[in-house]
Amino acid sequence: MVRFGIAGFGLHAVKRLMPGFAAAQNCTVTALTRRNLEQARQSAREYGIAHAFTSTAELCACPNVDAVFISTPDAHHLADVLEAARNRKHILVEKPMARNAAEARQMVEAAQAAGVILGVAHVMRFEVSVRWFRERIASGAIGRPVLAHASFVAPLLNSARTWIDDPALATGGPLADIGVHCFDTLKYVLNDEVRSVVAQARYDQHWSVEASGTALFEFAGATLATMSVSARAPYQTLLKVIGEEGILFAVNALNVEHPVTLEHRKGFDVVERREVSNAHAYTAQVESFAGAVESRLPFEIPGEVGLSNQLILDAIFRSVKSGKAETL
């Protein structure tokens, strides 16, 4: 049984992580951190967690913690990962992994030097809907992918994560916060890497970071893919891949709360339609990481994937400023 400590026990931990851990068979939560000690103790009592701390350093020093799930604001990820590595704790860090590629590279190197597993919590790779796309594409069901699209929009102006529009704490607005889900999913289902990107962003009076953004990616395998994200629209996600011989499509493909209808079309004909649930994605994620810790085998989403995604994010923000395509 792998014992996790959650650094940054906020809304995400309550809404997503704890339900995921509650159903897990090979791991449990034994410690947490919140900035306020009384609030930390209250959360620990509420969820039956043995240890409550106010800092990642205290959590990492706890002998009853084997692995640290880092769910703090983006700007704290680097220091938290380095602290966990110093204490020889395995590390699963939320996305986006860092504020830039230089920070992400430091994390990868620190974990390697400490001999611990570093993983990135790209939970959508554990969604049944996303894996269906990947499997169908790999099987040749739609032929060579030529175009793809992922979108993620949500009304984030009144988000309980009050730090997400603070440029001192957040890597960016929706391009970083939810956009990383989109292009990581595209990479995963296409089993390919991004070569270049051109991006645009729109700002408004409410945030210092961008409110909406788009990007066009050129993949090494010649697929062209687009991404659209916004923090100013009702919740919806979309995933579509167009191949030379068919199309895969799903509205709200990336959500974990409602069933997803998957469609494989060829021309006007529906070749396959099925409904799936992503409800167990968070459980699958922590069970997979715990399994890697127990077996001492690599986690399927290692820190190097997070670094690769950070290089893409850096290129996206360079393109927003330059107005030009940026290579990786």
Residue pLDDT, tens place only, 193-226 = 999 999 999 999 999 999 999 999 999 999 999 9
Q: Which residue has the tokens 């209808």?
A: 261
Whether residues 206 and 222 fall in one domain: yes
Which pTM value belongs to this model? 0.97
Contact 242, 188 (CB under 8 A): no
Buried b (16+ CB within 10 A) or exposed e, 19-43: ebbeebeebbbbbbbbeeeeebbeb
Q: Which pLDDT value is given to residue 18? A: 98
Mean pLDDT over each residue of the chain, to the nearest integer? 97
Q: Is it the case that residue 159 has pLDDT exceeding 90?
A: no
* Number of Cβ atoms within 10 Å of the Cβ of 114: 18
pLDDT in tens, 124-155: 999 999 999 999 999 999 999 999 999 999 99
Whether residues 97 and 197 fall in one domain: no
Q: Is it the case that residue 110 has pLDDT exceeding 90?
A: yes
Contact 51, 28 (CB under 8 A): no
Dist. CA 294–CA 151, nearest whole Å? 36
The amino acid occupying position 271 is V
Q: Is it the case that residue 160 has pLDDT exceeding 90?
A: no
Contact 95, 67 (CB under 8 A): no
Q: Which domain holds residue 220?
A: 125-278
Q: Which pLDDT value is given to residue 161? A: 87
pLDDT in tens, 168-197: 999 999 999 999 999 999 999 999 999 999
Q: Any idea what the CATH number is for the domain that residue 117 is in?
A: 3.40.50.720
Once rounded to an integer, what is the mean pLDDT over residues 221-247? 98
* Residue 93 domain-assigned (yes or no): yes
Whether residues 134 and 23 fall in one domain: no
Question: If 0-12 CB within 10 Å is exposed, 13-18 middle and 19+ buried, where does residue 232 land?
Answer: middle
Whether residues 113 and 53 fall in one domain: yes
Q: Is it the case that residue 250 has pLDDT exceeding 90?
A: yes
Whether residues 184 and 296 fall in one domain: no
Dist. CA 188–CA 202, nearest whole Å? 27
Percentage of residues in the chain having pLDDT higher than 90: 98
Whether residues 186 and 108 fall in one domain: no
Report the range of poorest mean pLDDT among 91-105, 124-138, 148-162, 280-294. 148-162
Whether residues 179 and 61 fall in one domain: no
Q: In total, how many domains does the chain have?
A: 2
Once rounded to an integer, what is the mean pLDDT over residues 163-170? 95
Contact 10, 73 (CB under 8 A): no
Once rounded to an integer, what is the mean pLDDT over residues 245-273? 97
Q: Any idea what the CATH number is for the domain that residue 130 is in?
A: 3.30.360.10
Q: Which pLDDT value is given to residue 139? A: 98
Return the higher-pLDDT residue of 144 and 161. 144
Whether residues 131 and 268 fall in one domain: yes
For helices 101-114 and 77-86, the axis angle rounded to 10 degrees is 10
pLDDT in tens, 24-69: 999 999 999 999 999 999 999 999 999 999 999 999 999 999 999 9
**DSSP strand pairing (326-327 vs 194-202):** antiparallel
